[in-house]
Amino acid sequence: MKIGIDASRAFIKNRTGIEEYSYQVIKNLRDKLKDRQVVLYVKKTYNLQLTTYNGVVKINDLELPKSWQIKVIKFPRFWTQLGLSLEMILHPVDVLFVPAHTVPAVHPARNATRLFNNSFVWYIRKFFNNKEDWQYSHSVAGGPKNTIVVIHGLEYEFCPNAYSWWDRVYMRGTIKKSCQWAKTIISVSNNTKLDLIKLYKVPDEKIRVIYEGYDSHQSSAISHQETKTSDKSDDRLLMTDDKFLLFVGRIEERKNVGNIIKAFEILKEEYNILHKLVLAGKPGHGYENIKYQITNSKYKESIAELGFVSEEEKWELLKKADVFVFPTLYEGFGIPVLEAQSVGCAVVASNNSSIPEIIAVEARLIAPLQLVNPQDPQDIAQALYKIISDETLKNAIIQKGLENVKRFSWDKCAQEIAEVLLK
C-alpha cells in the first residue's frame, strides 16, 4: 500500500492551528507507519531544508523512516488543485491523507480500474509516463474515494463577519467538495461532526471523530522546571514579571480579543486588580479595530501585545500566567486550552462550540464558572475575578485541568488516524 500525505502546511515557519496539527500528526505517524511506503507532498518554501544521510531523509528537524520519501511540488499558485492533482495523475497512490480540509480535484478512487480511453486524465498520464494500464483514477471514474480528509471546524459559518467574503466562499466550497469526495472524514470534535451533519448533510457513518492532542512532552518539561524570569534582551516579555492574564492565538475578531480587552478594563475599573493583560499571537482578520481599541484604552500601559511568540516563549508564558483567557466566538477544537491546563494554568473559556466538550464539562472536570458567555465582557470579567481572588478555587480548577488533559495526546491521535488509513 502506498500512502500519500498532504504535508504542505506542516513545515512552514511560525506554525499555528492547522499547520501545527499537520506537523504533529506527521511526526507521530512515523512510528505507526514506519514500514509503509509513504510520500509527503510539500511546497517549495524558503525555509524547507531536505537532507539525506546514510539513506535516511530529514526534513527540517524531522527524521523520516527509510520507507518514506519527500515530493516537492513547485506550483506557486493553486498548489492543491493543480500541483497535487497533477501528482495524483502522474504518480497515483492507494490512499491520500489530507490533514487540512482541501481535497484535490484529482484523488484516489477505490474500485476504479481504468479510465475511458477518451479521458483527459488518461491522455495527461500517457503524455508524461507513456503508460496506458493503470489502476487509479479521477473521481469521475466512480466508486468510493480512498481519500481521508480532516475537517477542523466550520467557524466561517458561525462567525461570518470574522472572515473576508472570499475566504467564506472559498472555504465553504472546498470543504463541501472535500466532504463529497472523501471516503472518510475525520472530525476533530463531536461538535464539528454535528455541524457537518446539520449544515452540509454529511452522512453520520462517513465521519470519524478523532480528538487532537497537545505537545505533552514539551508541557511536561516546562511544568517540572522552575518558573524563570526571561533573560531575553527583547522587551516583549518584560511585563511577565508581574501577575498577568494571558491570551495566546491570532489577534483577530473570531478570537474575541475585543471582549477580552473590555473584560480586562472592567477588572481594572471595578475590582482594581494589579494584573497585566498579555496578548501573544500574530495579527488576523479585524486586527486594525483591536489595535485601535488597545491604543485608546485607559489601561493601555497594562496591555502587552507580544506578536508571534516561539514555542519556548509560549510555554514559558503559559506556565507563568495567572489565568489563561480564551472566550473565542467559535472553535473546532481548542488546543490552547489543553496546553494551558497541562502546565497548571487555570482557564476561562467560552460556553459554546467544542469548548465544553474539550474542557470536559460532561466528566465534571471543570468548575461551571470557567465557561462564560463570550459576548458578555461582564461575565468574562466576573469569572476571571472569582478565580484570581480565590487561591483555593484556582488550585481546584488547576487540578481538574491536569486530570482533563490525560484524555488527549498526539500519539493517540496519530494511532487512530493510522487505523483509518490502513483500514
Predicted confidence (pLDDT) at residue 123 exceeds the cutoff of 50: no
> pLDDT tens, 385-397?
999 999 999 999 9
Position 144 scores a pLDDT of 40
Nearest alpha-carbon partner for 423 in 223, 214, 148: 148
> What would the grid cell of residue 406 be?
490525560
CB-CB neighbours of 75 under 10 Å? 16
b/e sequence 355-384, b meaning 16+ C-beta within 10 Å:
bbbbbbeeeebbbeebbbebeebebbbbbb
State the residue for C-alpha cell 524570569: 229
For position 72, what pLDDT does the model report?
Answer: 92
Sign of the C-alpha dihedral computed for residues 256, 262, 267 and 272 taken in this order: positive
Question: What separation, in Å, do the N-terminal and C-terminal C-alpha atoms of the chain show?
Answer: 11
Mean pLDDT within 230-254: 72
- Provide the 3-class DSSP secondary structure of residue 202: coil
162-203: pLDDT as tens digits: 888 999 999 999 999 999 999 999 999 999 999 999 999 999
Whether 317 has a pLDDT exceeding 60, the answer reads: yes
12, HSE (Cβ side, Cα atoms, 13 Å): 14
What is the Cα–Cα distance from 175 to 100, expressed in whole angstroms?
A: 10
pLDDT at 74: 87
Lowest mean pLDDT among 154-168, 213-227, 353-367: 213-227
Predicted confidence (pLDDT) at residue 330 exceeds the cutoff of 50: yes
205 and 289 in a single domain? The answer is no
Asked if pLDDT for residue 218 goes beyond 90, the answer is no
* C-alpha closest to that of 181 among 137, 139, 120, 121: 139
Distances (CA, A) of 348 to 337, 338, 340, 368: 9, 12, 10, 10
62-63 and 56-59 strand pairing: antiparallel
pLDDT of residue 367: 63
**pLDDT bracket for residue 227 (50, 70, 90):** very low
pLDDT of residue 27: 96
Clarify whether residues 119 and 254 are in a common domain.
no
Q: Both 169 and 253 in a single domain? A: no
Structure confidence at residue 50 as a pLDDT band (50, 70, 90): confident
Residue 49 pLDDT level (bands cut at 50, 70, 90): confident
Could you give the CA distance from residue 52 to residue 29 in angstroms, rounded to a whole number? 20
Question: How many CA atoms within 13 Å lie on the side-chain side of 288?
Answer: 0
pLDDT above 60 for 228: no
CATH code where residue 201 lies: 3.40.50.2000
**Beta-ladder partners of 97:** 5, 148
Say what the pLDDT of residue 130 is.
45
Same domain, 137 and 183: yes
Contacts of 296 (CB under 8 A, 6+ apart): none
CA atoms of 196 and 185, how far apart (whole Å):
10
d(CA 349, CA 384): 10
- Sorting pLDDT into bands at 50, 70 and 90, what band is 17? confident
> What pLDDT is stored for residue 223 in this prediction?
53
Residues 110 and 243 in one domain: no
Residues 374, 260 share a domain: yes
Are 151 and 263 within one domain? no
Residues 6 or more apart whose Cβ sits within 8 Å of residue 152: 17, 18, 21, 100, 101, 188, 192, 332, 333
Q: What is the pLDDT of residue 46?
A: 61
The pLDDT of residue 108: 82
Average confidence (pLDDT) over 297-304: 95
> Do 223 and 191 fall within a single domain?
no
Does 245 share its domain with 339?
yes
Q: How confident is the model at residue 245 (pLDDT cuts 50, 70, 90)?
A: very high
* Percentage, residues of the chain above pLDDT 70: 83
Number of structural domains the chain divides into: 2
Average pLDDT estimate for 293-311: 94
0.75 surpassed by pTM: yes
Run of H or E residues at 288: helix 287-295
Which whole number is the average pLDDT over 394-405? 92
Say what the pLDDT of residue 222 is.
Answer: 54
The pLDDT assigned to 355 comes to 92
**pLDDT recorded at residue 294:** 97
Q: How far apart are CA 87 and CA 290, in angstroms?
A: 42
Q: For position 129, what pLDDT does the model report? A: 52
pLDDT for 11: 85
DSSP state of 145: B
* Distance set, CA 382 to CA 2, 89, 389 (Å): 54, 58, 11
* Same-domain pairing of 277 and 153: no
Of 110-124, 214-228, 255-269, 328-342, the least confident: 110-124
HSE-CB at 173 with a 13 A cutoff on CA atoms is: 9
- Range among 3-17, 117-131, 252-266 rated most confident: 252-266
Whether 59 and 100 share a structural domain: yes
- For the beta sheet containing 323-326, the strands, ordered from the edge strand earlier in sequence to the opposite edge, are 303-307, 276-280, 244-248, 323-326, 346-350, 371-372
For residue 30, give the H/E element and its range: helix 17-32
Closest CA to 314 of 342, 291, 293, 286: 342
Chain centroid offset of residue 185 CA: 16
Enumerate the β-bridge partners of residue 319: none
* 259: confidence class by pLDDT, cuts 50, 70, 90: very high
Q: What's the pLDDT score for residue 107?
A: 82
The answer to whether 178 touches 189, Cβ cutoff 8 Å, is: no
Domain range for residue 381? 216-407
What would the mean pLDDT of 111-130 be, rounded to a whole number?
A: 45
Q: Which of 20-29, 228-237, 354-363 has the highest mean pLDDT?
A: 20-29
CA–CA separation, 157 and 192 (whole Å):
12
Q: Any idea which residue has 508581574 for its cell?
A: 242
> What whole-number distance in Å separates Cα of residue 209 and Cα of residue 192?
9
What is the reported pLDDT for 370? Answer: 86
Same domain, 248 and 382: yes
Q: Please determine, for residue 14, whether its predicted confidence score (pLDDT) is greater than 80.
A: no
Please determine, for residue 239, whether its predicted confidence score (pLDDT) is greater than 60: no
